[in-house]
Chains A and B, each alone.
Chain A
Amino acid sequence: MVAVTRMVVRRLLIGVFVMWGAASVIFVIVRAAPGDPAAVFLGPDADKEQIARLTAALGLDKPLFEQYVRYLGDVLRLDFGESYRLGRPAMEAVFERLPATIDLTLTATAVAVAVGLALGLVAGSRPGGAVDRVVSAVTIALQSFPTFWVGIMLVLTFALGLRLLPSAGVGTPAHLVLPAVTLAFPFTAIVARLTRSSVAEAMREPYVQTARSKGLSERQVLLGHALRNSLIPVVTIVGLQMGALMGGAVIVENVFAWPGLGSLVVDAVANRDYAVVQAVTLLIAGVVMVLNIVADVLYVRLDPRIRTEVAS
């Protein structure tokens, strides 16, 4: 366990470094962007004097390095300043939108893991069989469709055609179905491919032979032995895919007018609301980093073989 603790500490230190780097990248992009932030903040009616006063108030007349140090301090305090469009602290707006994105990504993850495990299991139990080939074709398609188009096609079919589900917005659990399924599409394929290959691999292992020879049914062998071991890589891939999942959410939220971080950040980018852009991007980077570490730790905890490896 000491070894695992050491691993966590090491990962956290790297994480702090990565967050510093991420904050710096955002600083560079925002500062390199054309347009005077103070002028943007005040709008087209502001006169020169007002702009100069705000520039001084925001510290934008200071040397770049001083601005950078001040910015890092602000990041540490999670203070990204006022959003000029919303008229309140950017972080406040961001935290308000966070729950909707969490709902969406968690539901999508659950859908992707459930469907992906099932597909991977039936495909992997008989590698090369007809089912395997069909699943393989399905996963290629799932991964290749652009998510925003999938969303629109689902709306066309289930909201406008069959009138089963709402096409956009929030309110009832039914509103969550289409966005979550859309977001789950590529991740279902990833989980299915991974499960398929690890189940197929496990089926060749001696312990599966043992399970068979002691008279267990094929079903028991699959679920009790082959699947159990295949779950470990799935945990890791889900953790590693969190970044891509958040990226997918940014697009899917815009298809369904889902009031999460994704629709907030696209709106902020389009309107040069840099306070919100910085707050959202760094929050997402932080969340993704923490989830990656959690997945790593879970991986080590779940698999005794790796636990010994880390310890030695």
Chain B
Amino acid sequence: MSQAAVLPQQVATRRWRSGALARVPYAVIALYVLVALIGPLVIDYDPVRTPLPDRLLAPGSRIASGEIAWLGTDALGRDILAQIVYGARTSLGIGLATVLVACVVGVTIGVVAGYSRGRLDAVLARITDVLQAFPAILLAIVIAGVFARSVPVVVLSLSVTAWISFARVTRGVALSLRERAWVDAARVMGVPVRSIIVRHVVPFTVGPVVALATLEFALVVLAEAGLSFLGIGLPTGAVSWGQTIANGQQYLETAWWISTLPGIALSLLIINIGILGDQLTARHGQRRPRS
């Protein structure tokens, strides 16, 4: 039933892959990465500097210093383009760190549980049952909210549930591999379990894990934006899309651009990661994770 859920994208993907369209997500994501890496070196932005004469300027306006604010300014006179550029760094950084943590933890647990089965596997199943009792974003809100504001706490709060899908997918792969001939051969030859797992099982998880990591990355970036929209987690002074969108909410009537533009930046990124993830998922025959 859920395997069937990927079909619309698979059909679309097959059609797109032949054309240049299939490469669009790569180009868009590369652009975001470039902006996140280089943008802050080119554009200066200080969240504490609030030039009030420049406040609530529409996109394309000239600010007091004579420069043009291409995407306008917010209620404190801060440039929106700069906030989007710095926000890209925050989002991509936290997304990458969280997916890395979740991937390492999830793959390790999943492979070991799938390979050894038995009690360890049952314990894993119960742990995921408990963690999934909470909506992932609620658990992240509680964890990121009660501890001191910092980037590592945000990464931790998002990783707490993100590792589960990695564990589930790699567990499945490991479970099917442990009966295969080359694994049996290695076992008979007395290869230590750890080496069997690392040399003969883990390499087969790479494809599905990469596909999953792409989709998880999109979910994590969305969740982080949600946290910073609620004003939870990130230290004051950090720049993030969710925060800029929240700041613009009370000025919607006079300055639509504050909330609208960072949201477009965020949506475009997520759409392209989603398409890329669906392409990779179709190629590696793993299903899209739920929620």
Asked if A162 CB lies within 8 Å of chain B CBs, one says no
Asked if B252 CB lies within 8 Å of chain A CBs, one says yes
* A221 CA to B25 CA, complexed, in Å: 38
B-side contacts of A156, CB under 8 Å: 252, 256, 259-260
Given A22-B130, A146-B266, A156-B260, A132:B11 Cβ within 8 A: yes
A-side contacts of B88, CB under 8 Å: none
CB distance from B75 to the nearest CB of A (A): 15
A143's closest neighbor in chain B, by CB? B274
Give the contacts of B239-269 with A (CB-CB under 8 A).
242, 245-246, 248-249, 252-253, 256, 259-260, 263, 266-267
Q: How large is the interface on B (under 10, 10 to 19, 20 to 34, 35 or more residues)?
A: 35 or more
Give the contacts of A82-139 with B (CB-CB under 8 A).
123, 127-128, 132-133, 135-137, 139
B-side contacts of A281, CB under 8 Å: 134, 138-139, 142
**Interface size in chain A (residues, C-beta < 8 A):** 70
A159's closest neighbor in chain B, by CB? B252
A-side contacts of B256, CB under 8 Å: 156
- Interface code B108-135, partner A: CB below 8 Å = 1, 0 otherwise? 0000000000000000001101111111
A232's closest neighbor in chain B, by CB? B1
Across the interface, do B133 and A22 meet the contact criterion of CB distance under 8 Å? yes
Across the interface, do B1 and A233 meet the contact criterion of CB distance under 8 Å? yes
Across the interface, do A193 and B267 meet the contact criterion of CB distance under 8 Å? no
Asked if A298 CB lies within 8 Å of chain B CBs, one says no
Across the interface, do A197 and B271 meet the contact criterion of CB distance under 8 Å? no
Give the contacts of A1-60 with B (CB-CB under 8 A).
14, 17-19, 21-22, 24-26, 29-30, 32-34
Contact of A146 (CB < 8 Å), options: B225, B249, B260? B225
Interface of chain B: mostly helix, strand, loop or mixed? helix
Asked if B204 CB lies within 8 Å of chain A CBs, one says no
* A149 CA to B262 CA, complexed, in Å: 9
A26's closest neighbor in chain B, by CB? B142
Given A240-B290, A250-B137, A148:B5 Cβ within 8 A: no
A-side contacts of B65, CB under 8 Å: none
Asked if A145 CB lies within 8 Å of chain B CBs, one says yes
Interface of chain A: mostly helix, strand, loop or mixed? helix
A-side contacts of B198, CB under 8 Å: none
Across the interface, do A123 and B291 meet the contact criterion of CB distance under 8 Å? no
A161's closest neighbor in chain B, by CB? B256
* A63 CA to B246 CA, complexed, in Å: 43
- Interface code A181-195, partner B: CB below 8 Å = 1, 0 otherwise? 000000000100110
* A233 CA to B5 CA, complexed, in Å: 10
Given A34-B148, A149-B245, A270-B231, A193:B5 Cβ within 8 A: yes
Across the interface, do A25 and B232 meet the contact criterion of CB distance under 8 Å? no
Across the interface, do B4 and A30 meet the contact criterion of CB distance under 8 Å? no
Across the interface, do B263 and A194 meet the contact criterion of CB distance under 8 Å? no
Across the interface, do A149 and B266 meet the contact criterion of CB distance under 8 Å? yes
Across the interface, do B5 and A194 meet the contact criterion of CB distance under 8 Å? yes
Asked if B9 CB lies within 8 Å of chain A CBs, one says yes
A167's closest neighbor in chain B, by CB? B252
Contact of B232 (CB < 8 Å), options: A139, A200, A266? A266
Contact of A160 (CB < 8 Å), options: B133, B253, B267? B253
* A248 CA to B142 CA, complexed, in Å: 15
* A229 CA to B8 CA, complexed, in Å: 19
* A136 CA to B270 CA, complexed, in Å: 15
Contact of B126 (CB < 8 Å), options: A21, A197, A244? A21
- Interface code A258-300, partner B: CB below 8 Å = 1, 0 otherwise? 0000000110011010100100010011001100000000000
A-side contacts of B252, CB under 8 Å: 152, 155-156, 160
Q: List 21 A-B contacts (CB under 8 A).
A: A29-B143, A33-B146, A132-B8, A140-B274, A144-B271, A145-B263, A145-B270, A146-B229, A148-B225, A149-B245, A152-B252, A194-B1, A196-B8, A240-B290, A241-B291, A243-B132, A247-B138, A254-B230, A265-B141, A269-B141, A284-B135
Point out residues on A near B: beta carbons under 8 Å: 14, 17-19, 21-22, 24-26, 29-30, 32-34, 123, 127-128, 132-133, 135-137, 139-141, 143-149, 152-153, 155-156, 160, 190, 193-194, 196-198, 200-201, 233, 236, 240-241, 243-244, 246-248, 250-251, 254-255, 265-266, 269-270, 272, 274, 277, 281, 284-285, 288-289
Q: A26-B142, A147-B226, A244-B135 are in contact. List 10 more A-B contacts (CB 8 A).
A: A24-B130, A25-B131, A128-B11, A153-B263, A193-B9, A197-B4, A197-B8, A250-B135, A266-B230, A277-B146
